[in-house]
Amino acid sequence: MAKEREKKLLPGVLGNYAAELKLLLTTLLLLCSVATLLQFIPSRLTISASDLRVCISRVSQVTGASPSSSSSSSSSNSSSVSVKSIRLSSPPSLPPPSPPEEKERVLENGIIKRVFKPYGSAAYNFISMSAYRGGLNNFAIVGLSSKPLHVYGKPTYECEWLPLVRNDSAKPITTVGYKILPDWGYGRVYTAVIVNCSFSQPVNVDNSGGKLILYASTSGGGDTNFNITDRMEVLTEAPGSMDASIFTSEPKYDYFYCGSSLYGGLNPRRVKEWIAYHVKFFGPRSHFVIHDAGGIHEQVLEVLKPWIELGYVTLQDIRDQERFDGYYHNQFMVVNDCLFRYKFMAKWMFFFDVDEYIYVPPKSTIKSVLGSLSQYSQFTIEQMAMNGKLCLSADSSRMYRKWGIEKFVYRDARKGIRRDRKYAVQPRRLFATGVHMSENVEGKTTHNTEGKIMYYHYHGTIAEKRESCRVLLNSTQVTFEKIPYVMDTTMRDIAGFIRKFETKMIGSRIQKPLQ
């Protein structure tokens, strides 16, 4: 009986799963057929990484255009939308044909010829951020390029001006581009590059418009078998848009701030104090450009908004530069963009950070100090290094209400050591700039500014969200972590005036506690 039941059970089970077995066998047969066919497909038809990127981008378009739906009618509608989106999208540009693939072989003399097969791309040839006029016949192009390409190769650049309306007096003109590497070798995968294009004659003098074209050639760098040249339109001047008077007119601002890339978790209280102090310090004919590389979160933006509305601050979102691995969030590229973008709008341009405060001694003003330095194209500024952990015990009961410049009063007293300096320039005399000074300047530079102008540096406090004070003291001198400090209340003494100025300018908009 048991044997008969087993005989009847097996056909029954097979009958119940007959459809599934047929599907499984069909799928296996199809996979075997595809695997067999792939062996006969030529190697030149293999799917490349660029093909996969195109496919993925198409899938993204389809997904964005037709969200999934459970009903059959929604599925059919989304399918039609998907087809339309694919048909309407422009076809991708095809990559250049690949050379015939070489294979390892034995030569007639018995030597084994080995083969090397390159794949992918290590870094881009050139990443354009901006291009600006520097005069009637001069332009500056700001961008990034592969650092190994410039360290071990000799890339070249050519500039071309294409008039929008061509005639006998307006023809295309070309010139060799002169490159400047302003980052002192600090670049990582990418290095900052400034390409100077100086044509032999003024271009677009009739203001009919035109385009600036940059040709970036690797000149055998990377792969000596190829000289790859990339063509890019870096600047377009619409008809009537070129204002030549800006090159000779008086600048709009006396003092201009070009900030480095701001990133990380900035403390909005410190930013609030910094901007109020410097608007007061530089006065009404000043302007501040802040570059957001991820550091301007909601509360920091709340602090800056009143000053943006008053016309003192311009905020630029540069977060996309994070795609390209350069030194300190590509700050060399960023400050150079700021230089050329506002070159003819500022009499003096300052480069320093948001944890640094410019100061001039009593009985002098920023105007009088810079007047005495007007013969120089560039001057550097002495650092006063303040400790962000040492505070006065007298402030312990109201520490949280104190501004940073009020409670950090201990200055590094070491002598004879090299300290970082920040700087200011007359921007019309620069060809490129750096972070601590420019090496590409026309005219004289002076470092002899001790006693005239300095900056108080509160290192490490700008990103400190919790209370920075760690040690409370009541002495005028102290040695902390083997470094001697002396009490310096210079900034503390003027904090009250800055508070009143802030209230006068923006009221109580941001007086509520900030985290």
pLDDT of residue 73: 42
pLDDT of residue 222: 81
Per-residue pLDDT band at 467 (split at 50, 70, 90): confident
Helix (H) or strand (E) holding 191: strand 190-198
Whether residue 366 contacts residue 439, with contact meaning beta carbons closer than 8 Å, is answered with no
- State the pLDDT at residue 35: 65
The whole-number pLDDT of residue 31 equals: 75
pLDDT of residue 93: 53
Report the range of poorest mean pLDDT among 112-126, 233-247, 459-473: 112-126
Per-residue tokens: 368: 């009088």
**pLDDT, position 45:** 47
What is the pLDDT, as a whole number, of residue 405? Answer: 96
| Bridge partner list, 193 | 143
Cα torsion 181, 184, 190, 192 to 10°: value is -40
Separation of alpha carbons 62 and 205, rounded Å? 48
Report pTM: 0.78
The count of C-alpha atoms lying within 13 angstroms of the C-alpha of 125, restricted to the half-sphere facing its C-beta, is 20
Q: What is the mean pLDDT of the chain?
A: 85
pLDDT at 87: 37
Give the separation between CA 162 and CA 141, rounded to whole angstroms. Answer: 16
Q: Per mean pLDDT, which range of 116-130, 135-149, 201-215, 231-245 is the poorest?
A: 116-130
Angle at 367 (CA atoms; ends 364, 372), nearest 5 degrees: 80
- Cα 344 from Cα 342, distance rounded (Å): 6
Helix, strand or coil, per DSSP, at residue 272: helix
What pLDDT is stored for residue 258 in this prediction? 97
Q: How far apart are CA 155 and CA 179, in angstroms?
A: 9
Q: What is the pLDDT of residues 359-380, one digit of tens each?
A: 999 999 999 999 999 999 999 9
Question: Per-residue confidence at 27, pLDDT binned at 50, 70, 90?
Answer: confident
**CA separation (Å) from 503 to 82, 302, 314, 510?**
56, 15, 21, 9
pLDDT tens sequence across 292-326: 999 999 999 999 999 999 999 999 999 999 999 99
Q: What is the pLDDT of residue 302?
A: 95
For residues 431 and 439, what is the distance between their CA atoms, to the nearest angstrom? 9
Q: Can you tell me which residue has the tokens 């999934």?
A: 68
Sequence letter at residue 173 = I
pLDDT reading at 56 higher than 50:
no
What is the three-class DSSP state of 297? coil
Residue with tokens 């739906």: 69
Q: Provide the 10 A C-beta neighbour count for residue 83.
A: 13
Band the pLDDT of 15: cuts 50, 70, 90: low
Beta bridge partners of 235: 212
| Strand 112-113 with 105-106, pairing | antiparallel
Does pLDDT of 468 surpass 80?
yes
Contacts of 475 (CB under 8 A, 6+ apart): 487
* Nearest CA among 196, 204, 203, 215 for reference residue 140: 196
Residue 461's contacts (CB-CB under 8 Å, 6 or more residues apart) are 267, 270, 355, 388, 404, 408, 468
**What tens digit of pLDDT does each residue of 252-263 get?**
999 999 999 999
Mean of pLDDT values over 166-178? 89
Residue 52 scores a pLDDT above 60: no
